[in-house]
Amino acid sequence: MFCSNCGAAITTGQNFCSNCGKQLVAGVAPSAQAPPTPPSVTPLPPALSRIEKHTKILAILWLAVSVFGLIPSFWFFFGSGMAMHFIPLHLQFGFPLRAFLWPIAGAIGIFLLASAVLGLLAGWGLLNYRPWARVLALILGVISLIHFPFGTALGIYTLWVLLPAESEREYQRLARTAN
């Protein structure tokens, strides 16, 4: 015989359940009561692996950092061009400062724009488990180590997630199943 409340086994002649304390119906034969049916159990979705979980987080971080990286690149393209108009053509000693600084600002803007676009590409590739995205993210992670403190943290996290050999095997498996 089993308790109708918790399903614990009950001996004959017992008035209360020893597990939950519910009062039992007297006079019921032990064979007359069937054990309670367990509630319907819905299967849980499979748990994400370590690489799966951290790759998604890493992809979102790369996307966010790259979007914020677009801001200084646009400033160097457009803002520096406007700022150059406020610099006199020839300062002391006849040095053309505007002609000297404008190409430098453009080169910095191109470098920042390229790194932001590559970061966006790496984030998108990691979200979609593209085979090339792991290598690109690792290269960008090493480069971003010099950008203290946020780039350093992102670089360390990228290397921690994607660099181990087990991570490479797991990422390749995810890339095969995603395509």
Q: Encode pLDDT of 27-38 as tens digits.
A: 444 555 556 666
pLDDT exceeding 90 applies to what percent of the chain? 51
Of 164 and 10, the structure prediction assigns the larger pLDDT to: 164
Instruction: Say how far apart CA 76 and CA 85 lie, in whole Å.
Output: 14
Quick one: average pLDDT of 48-60? 92
What was the pLDDT predicted at 170? Answer: 93
pLDDT-based confidence at residue 164 (cuts at 50, 70, 90):
very high
Bond before 149 cis per omega within 30 degrees: yes
pTM for the structure as a whole:
0.68
Looking at residue 34, what is its pLDDT?
Answer: 58
Give the residue among 178, 170, 172 at the shortest CA–CA distance from 53: 170
Give the pLDDT band (50/70/90) at residue 39.
low
